[in-house]
Amino acid sequence: MMQIKPILAALKRHKAGTILIALQIALTLAIVCNALFIIHQRLDRVARPTGLDESNLMAISTRYVGMDDKDTGAAIRGDLAALRQLPGVEDVVSINSYPLRGGGWSTGVRVNVDDKKPKGHTTLYFSDEHTLATFGTRLVAGRNFQADEIGEADPKSVGDPAVVIISKALADKLYPDGTALGKPIYIGDTKKPSTVVGIVERLQVPWNGNWSDTFFENAIIEPFRLTGSFTNYLIRSKPGQLDALLKAAPAALYKVNRMRVIPSDRGVRTFAQVRERAYRADRGMAILMGVVCLVLLAITAAGIVGLTSFWVGQRRKQIGVRRALGATQHDILSYFLTENLLIGVGGVVVGAVLAIGMNLWLVTQFEMARLSVLYVLVGVVALLLLGQGAVLAPALRASRVSPVEATRSV
Amino acid sequence: MSGMFFHNLRLGATSLRRNPLLTALMIMSIGFGVAASMVTYAVFRAVSGDPIPQKSAQLFVPQIDNRGPQYNRHGEPPDALNYTDAMALMRAHKAPRQTLLFQVGLSVMPDDAQRMPFKAVGYATFSDFFNMFDVPFQYGQGWGPGQDESREPVVVISRALNQKLFGGANSVGREITMDDRHYRIVGVTENWDPKPRFFDMFSGNAYAMPAQVYIPFNYAVAQRFDTYGNNNCGSDGKRGDDWGSWLHGECVWVSAWVELDTAAQAEAYRQYLDGYAREQRAAGRFNWPPNNRLRDVAAWLDYEHAVPPESRISLSLALGFLVICLVNTIGLLLAKFMRRAPEIGVRRALGASRADIYRQFLAEAGMVGLAGGVLGLVLTGLGMFGIGLVFEPQIAQLARMDVSLVLLTLVVAIAATVLAAFYPTWRAAQVQPAWQLKSN
């Protein structure tokens, strides 16, 4: 630390180079912090559990052709019976949507009939008593639907269910004291209460975008199978039978009734494919940011190596003189390391400000969250270490300059 | 002069070969920076283009606030109209051309009983649709206003669907069966699919697969076709218990478009919209002052965020990346040029002017830029394969490497490097010959 004054004096003579390295460190810090933050956010989102046991699960979407809407209830029951008979099928439901699918129903929920504003926002799943077994979702309180509670409903005029199963997150939102079981809830703008008979541990909404973040685990299961020409079948296979069912299940449906459309794209999917598709953009963004970070760090390190090498080459004579005057190899090495550290500190101070500024800009532009200071601290340490690592090779070369250099070419 | 230019290039090449590591670093830095920018720019260019440049200033989206300040989003009226308001605009006919549309999903039944039915997605709309949006036809044409009113089952199909059903032959006048209804084909469009699909931003179809069928709006409503696109009933909304109450309720699901040729017409239309809202208020349906919008295509795309956030984030990030690469290049060039101070001193002493030094070093930088550009091209080509990782496939396939992108890559690389070289070159030209000669 004795050396700081002479180092500052030397840096003053290399203003341009010093500023360039500091600037590069600053910009790199700003981008890397924000990129890491985006990566973390995206990966957090991808890691959110749906509440489903996602292995051995597949989905089929199908639309009847030329069938009157009032006949579709029986047709769906026929499809369900045919699917249940397939070897390898553990359980199956007809359902309006499921987590990560993308489209679905959402509405507000009140706890008192006179409430003006909804107390919570939720998605609605319409299905029957097989839902919990097919989802692989655990009840934490209450009971499943009974077969005699299940009805059929036209999607354009769904009535109010007498009983519902809700997710724990929604239960806690509506009745924060944990007494939701057995209590009434009012779905949408209805005057008729529905009683909570069961609470499941976790059940995600069908969407995975930002807009549903405020209610992403709020779900209600209503004991209605929706009629209408369009439906989804969610099928749980016996272990190891999923691959066979991917072919057998649509074939069985066509056998029951050929007059239907199962889209070639996204008509038959394993749940792994559903998840892959839902999070493609998030994962891609994380990969892109990761690659950008690595290349940036590599380029910055290379830049430091390049400029420091130049300085070492330029100062060989002065180094020789210092060595001749008694400086040890270690003194020379630490001179260059300290010099780099000083520049690095200058860079990261500016960089931290830039990182926060850039985040604020991203917040206004893309509705992103605020950057936590932790990222900036980690980025600061990483860049200082990177600088020290990059400067090591040229600094070692400098430390090996022989005192004889002092006498050369004078 | 050109002799000097080549002499400078030779000098530059010699110098670059002398420090292969430093040279390689600079080329890689430029290459990566330019490639990252170009790949993200290719996507951005694809999604931010004007989908209908010849008319984008004449086409407008009327929006009417049927929710009121308590329920609308941030004071903005909904992105589509309910049936009542949409039909009122059509009946008033205050624009030279006007249309409504909503998405329909129909099941096409091939004549051949062995073939499976398949889904065809398209729009229920009015006859003006085809003229307003300059839809090109392969065979026939759109239906006329008479068929709007008579609710005839006529259909315009896409070239792709015509290929699939009739092997590409002229099918005008023939019938197709969709669900259990028969339609007479009146026209076959060319491959037409403006991106983003500005007229159906409401249902999130900006980058969806091309539409295959178009049928008359009034026919679709008479047949009680449900919308295949979005239906937004708002946070207080009731969908209603049956078809009729939904159709005449406050759920919005109809996209409206009007063509207004002059600013005066647009202003008159705004007046009309406000007048309509005041009438509704007087009638007791709205209890808030008029809150309408009339956006043209550019304003509409901006409002609907046609450019996906991924594209804007990655483009901004890539530009930051390019800046860092350039700062890096400035540093490396500075190191490289200043190391040659003695050589510069000798050249200056032998009579080279400052301008000569400038030319020599800028030529050298230009060569680095060119090499960086070539590397950048290769990396951009590779990056094009990676676009599908980040963007939806429909968007990824829009980005392509064409001649203009190749040229742009090279120009950006060379221009950026030469720009980066100005400071180091200026420093090199400042070298005092006498001082250099003395100290060596």
Give this complex's ipTM. 0.76
Contact flag B317-A31 (C-beta cutoff 8 Å): yes
| CA dist., res. B239 & res. B252, Å (int) | 10
Contact flag B339-A296 (C-beta cutoff 8 Å): no
Average pLDDT over residues A369-378: 88
Residue of chain B minimizing CA distance to A27? B324
- With contacts defined as CB-CB under 8 Å, which chain B residues touch A277? none
Each residue of A173-216: pLDDT tens digit?
999 999 999 999 999 878 899 999 999 999 999 988 777 888 99
pLDDT at residue A410 greater than cutoff 60: no
Average pLDDT over residues A378-406: 90
Burial class, B399, CB count within 10 angstroms (exposed 0-12 / middle 13-18 / buried 19+): buried
Burial class, B2, CB count within 10 angstroms (exposed 0-12 / middle 13-18 / buried 19+): exposed
| CA dist., res. B156 & res. B210, Å (int) | 13
Residue of chain B minimizing CA distance to A309? B335
DSSP A260: E
Burial class, B299, CB count within 10 angstroms (exposed 0-12 / middle 13-18 / buried 19+): middle
Which of B32, B327, B379, B427 should one mutate to test binding to chain A, selecting the residue with the greatest count of A CBs within 10 A? B327
Q: What share of chain A is helix, strand, coil (3-state, %, to 5)?
A: 55, 15, 30
Contact partners, residue A351, CB within 8 Å, separation at least 6: A25, A26, A27, A28, A29, A30, A33, A379, A380, A383
| CA dist., res. B58 & res. B145, Å (int) | 21
Q: How many CB pairs under 8 A join A and B?
A: 141
CA distance B332 to chain A (A): 6
Kind of pairing between the strands at A139-142 and A194-200: antiparallel
- Position A396 scores a pLDDT of 92
| CA dist., res. B23 & res. B15, Å (int) | 9
Which two three-digit tokens encode residue A81?
């019976």
Evaluate whether B37 touches B321 at the Cβ level (below 8 Å).
yes
List the one residue out of A294, A373, A378, A304 whose CA is nearest residue A341.
A304
Report chain A's C-alpha Rg in angstroms: 32
Looking at every residue in chain A, the average pLDDT score rounds to 90
Evaluate whether B81 touches B275 at the Cβ level (below 8 Å).
no
Return the biggest CA–CA distance within chain B: 99
Contact flag B29-A302 (C-beta cutoff 8 Å): yes
| CA dist., res. A167 & res. A216, Å (int) | 11
Higher pLDDT, B314 or A136: A136
pLDDT-based confidence at A65, cuts 50/70/90? Answer: confident
Average pLDDT over residues A19-25: 92
- A32 SS3 class: helix
| CA dist., res. B203 & res. B206, Å (int) | 8
- Position A402 scores a pLDDT of 86
Q: Amino acid identity of A206?
A: P
CA distance A183 to chain B (A): 23
Residues in chain B: 440
Average pLDDT over residues A47-62: 95
Picking from A31, A260, A280, the nearest residue to B321 by CB comes out as A31
Picking from A16, A30, A263, the nearest residue to B427 by CB comes out as A16
Which two three-digit tokens encode residue A347?
């860079």
Which two three-digit tokens encode residue B90?
């059509």
- Position A7 scores a pLDDT of 82
Contact partners, residue B149, CB within 8 Å, separation at least 6: B218
Return the biggest CA–CA distance within chain A: 104
Q: Which chain B residues in 21-40 lie under 8 Å from chain A, judged by CB atoms?
A: 22, 25, 28-29, 32, 36
Average pLDDT over residues A337-365: 92
Contact partners, residue A59, CB within 8 Å, separation at least 6: A98, A101, A232, A233, A234, A235, A268, A269, A271, A274
Which two three-digit tokens encode residue A152?
């059929």
Percentage of residues in chain A having pLDDT higher than 70:
98
A150 interfacial to chain B (CB closer than 8 Å)? no
B197 interfacial to chain A (CB closer than 8 Å)? no
The tens place of each residue's pLDDT in chain B, 440 residues long, gives: 566 777 777 877 777 777 787 888 889 989 999 998 898 888 888 888 889 999 999 999 999 999 888 777 778 899 999 999 999 999 999 999 999 999 998 989 887 777 778 889 999 999 999 999 999 999 999 999 999 999 999 999 999 999 999 999 999 999 999 988 999 999 999 999 998 899 999 888 888 889 999 999 999 999 988 888 888 876 555 566 677 888 888 889 999 999 999 999 999 999 999 999 999 999 999 989 999 999 999 999 999 888 887 788 888 888 888 999 999 999 888 888 888 888 888 888 888 888 888 888 898 888 999 999 999 999 998 888 878 777 777 778 888 788 999 999 999 999 999 999 999 999 888 887 777 666 54
User: How far apart, in Å, are the Cα atoms of A175 and each of A143, A180, A181, A196, B327?
Assistant: 18, 5, 9, 11, 57
| CA dist., res. A388 & res. B397, Å (int) | 43
Q: What are phi and psi of A165, to 5 degrees?
A: -110, 135
| CA dist., res. A75 & res. B89, Å (int) | 41
Residue of chain A minimizing CA distance to B317? A31
- Position B436 scores a pLDDT of 66
Contact flag B246-A156 (C-beta cutoff 8 Å): yes
Burial B225-259 (b: 16+ CB within 10 A, else e): bbbbbbbbbbbbbebbeeeeebbebbbbbbbbbbb
List the one residue out of B65, B69, B11 whose CA is nearest residue B346.
B11
Residue of chain A minimizing CA distance to B396? A281
Task: Give the CA count within 13 Å in the CB-facing half-sphere of A409.
Answer: 9
The verdict on whether omega for the bond into residue B53 sits within 30 degrees of 0, i.e. cis, is no
Percentage of residues in chain A having pLDDT higher than 90:
57
Picking from A261, A287, A292, the nearest residue to B36 by CB comes out as A292
Which of B107, B207, B307 should one mutate to test binding to chain A, selecting the residue with the greatest count of A CBs within 10 A? B107
Burial class, B282, CB count within 10 angstroms (exposed 0-12 / middle 13-18 / buried 19+): exposed
Task: Give the CA count within 13 Å in the CB-facing half-sphere of A241.
Answer: 14
- With contacts defined as CB-CB under 8 Å, which chain A residues touch B118? 261
Sign of CA dihedral A106, A110, A113, A116: negative
| CA dist., res. B370 & res. B359, Å (int) | 16
User: How far apart, in Å, are the Cα atoms of B26 and each of A150, B11, B241?
Assistant: 70, 18, 69
| CA dist., res. A371 & res. A374, Å (int) | 8
| CA dist., res. A144 & res. B399, Å (int) | 50
List the one residue out of A37, A10, A55 whose CA is nearest residue A366.
A37
Residue of chain B minimizing CA distance to A308? B335
A330 interfacial to chain B (CB closer than 8 Å)? no
Each residue of B114-130: pLDDT tens digit?
777 888 999 999 999 99
A189 interfacial to chain B (CB closer than 8 Å)? yes
CA distance B72 to chain A (A): 14
A35 interfacial to chain B (CB closer than 8 Å)? yes
Burial class, A340, CB count within 10 angstroms (exposed 0-12 / middle 13-18 / buried 19+): buried
End-to-end CA distance of chain B: 32
pTM across the whole model = 0.78
pLDDT at residue A105 greater than cutoff 50: yes
- Position A409 scores a pLDDT of 58
- Position B239 scores a pLDDT of 61
CA distance B131 to chain A (A): 32
- Position B258 scores a pLDDT of 96
B340 interfacial to chain A (CB closer than 8 Å)? no
Task: Give the CA count within 13 Å in the CB-facing half-sphere of A322.
Answer: 19
